[in-house]
Amino acid sequence: MSKFELKLPKMGESVAEATLTAWLKEIGDTIEFDEPVVEIATDKVDSEVPSEKKGILIEKLFKVDDVIEVGQTIAIIETDEVEPQNNTIIEEDNSQENFEETNNEISSKEDLVEEITESLEKSAKVVIESDHTLNSGKGFLSPLVKNMIKKEGISSEELSKINGTGKDSRITKNDILSFLSNRNVIVDEPIKSNTNIIQPEKLNASDFSDEVIEMTKMGKIISQHMTNSVKTSAHVQSFIEVDVTNIFNWRDRVKSGFESREGQKFTFTPIFIEAVAVALRQYPMMNISVSDDKILLKKKINIGMATALSDGNLIVPVIKNADQLNLVGMAKSVNDLASRARNNNLSPDDVAGGTYTVTNVGVFGSIMGTPIINQPQVGILAFGAIRKMPSVIETEEGDYIGIRKKMIISHSYDHRVVNGALGSKFIKAVKDHLENWNSNREI
């Protein structure tokens, strides 16, 4: 037999560590090839680490909530394979000089086998007892979802009432979180309309004490990431007003044809991201990152788009080589990443490698925002709500007041390396691209 070291794999260019959020296997459990062993979380995405070998889990090297660096060993798995010694295999020591020590190990292994047997029997019992919950006609359940169901004690009756939003109506992590957030909500009966008096017994039955809500693991990581960003970068903001009347009318004209042809929605987001990609080509010093006292000029334009999740958190999937996509490709990439983000189906690579970030605060009704830079980038753009505004319109015959559709763009940038001139010129380039939109353009 040999021992395999399960290590934290590389999860993207900018991801150096992850937090262990749950063990999916216990000591003594049998692990199949490619079966998830632990659940981890970064500031970008939740994921599972599968085993590269089949065997038995014999040692855990980290606890829940521990931070693990990429390349560190998470667990030891005993396998039946006999392999040459390398970075991931620990061979048994059978040297003559350790003969006496080996005899002691034999006794220890006999004890270990007995412990493993007992553990397997207990595991089998747990599986039998919980089988009615995990096999309640809801189709495939991922190990992460199964673990949440067991941990929260969700009954088969409760599980049957959860509507899956994943592929083929699969129940996702976000579906479980949404169910749990409403699980203990009690709605009191309304007070009858023929009385204006609050009944004392009703008042006493109510609980007016403050509720303590535990932050989610992703929420804690995002909180730390944002705090570190404010401490790291000297945040400065510039704002500019953009007339998007032509774009608004053009989109109204082409969106139904696009949606019937492609089977997808055509939103403003791909239009805005295209404008940012064009501006980044024009001003490449906005497409940089900072490492100590050095500036790293990025050759690829990879634009992250902040996406709201059902649990209130944000995630930033990345559109790779955004400047190389036409508008159709951009729209499809935006829709695909947004859909998979909401269904918790993003891979670590989907959220890695971003060089600049955009966020659309207008979808929530905000006219502008001052977003925090997504480290190690140096800028982030916020698009505000599109509103009808009275405007001065200049013509050859003279000026007049008219109704135009406008929005405000907010640009937060790192004043350590981006001065006000560059920060302002950059959003002016975004504005120019949007205001000079070709109304005869086809998609």
> Which three-class secondary structure state does DSSP give residue 321?
coil
Strand partners, 400: 393
- C-alpha gyration radius of the chain: 28
The pair phi, psi for residue 163, each rounded to 5°, is -90, 120
Give the span between the Cα atoms of 49 and 241, in whole angstroms: 46
Say how many C-beta atoms besides its own lie within 10 A of residue 96's C-beta.
Answer: 6
**Closest residue by Cα to residue 292 from 235, 232, 352:** 232
What span, in angstroms and rounded, lies between the C-alpha atoms of 294 and 375? 15
Angle between helices 143-152 and 99-134 (to 10 degrees): 80
User: Are the beta carbons of 4 and 83 closer than 8 angstroms?
Assistant: no
99, two tokens = 């003969």
| Tokens linked to 438 | 């070709």
Strand order in the sheet with 46-50: 46-50, 36-41, 17-23, 67-69
Cα 411 from Cα 358, distance rounded (Å) = 9
Count the Cβ atoms, other than its own, within 10 Å of residue 148: 21
Token couple for 182 = 């409403």
How many residues are given for the chain?
443
Residues paired with residue 76 on neighbouring β-strands, in sequence order: 5, 59
**Half-sphere exposure (Cβ direction) of 152: Cα atoms closer than 13 Å:** 21
Dist CA 218 CA 182 (whole Å): 19
Q: Give the burial class of 262: count Cβ atoms within 10 A of its Cβ; 0-12 exposed, 13-18 middle, 19 or more buried.
A: middle
This prediction's pTM: 0.61
Cα-based distances in Å from 413 to 43, 282, 333, 417, 428: 20, 17, 26, 9, 14
Note the pLDDT of residue 4.
Answer: 92
| 41 close to 14: Cβ distance less than 8 angstroms | no
Question: Going by C-beta distance under 8 Å and a sequence separation of 6 or more, which residues neighbour residue 319?
Answer: 273, 302, 303, 304, 305, 325, 330, 333, 334, 337
Q: Is 235 left (phi over 0), alpha (psi -120 to 50) or beta?
A: beta
Domains, the chain: 2-131 (2.40.50.100), 137-183 (4.10.320.10), 219-435 (3.30.559.10)
Measured CA to CA, the distance from residue 138 to residue 172 in angstroms comes to 11
Distances (CA, A) of 169 to 139, 140, 164, 418: 8, 10, 5, 47
- Residue carrying structure tokens 């970064």: 42
pLDDT per residue as tens, the chain (443 positions): 799 999 998 876 667 888 898 899 999 999 998 889 998 887 667 788 999 999 999 999 999 989 999 899 999 999 987 655 554 444 444 444 443 444 444 344 445 445 544 544 444 444 434 444 454 455 667 767 777 787 788 887 788 888 887 766 778 777 787 777 666 543 444 444 444 544 555 545 556 788 888 888 778 888 888 999 999 999 999 999 999 999 999 999 999 999 999 999 999 999 999 999 999 999 999 999 998 889 999 999 999 999 988 777 889 999 999 999 999 999 999 999 999 998 888 888 899 999 999 999 998 899 999 999 999 999 999 999 999 999 999 989 999 999 999 999 999 999 999 999 999 999 999 999 999 999 999 88
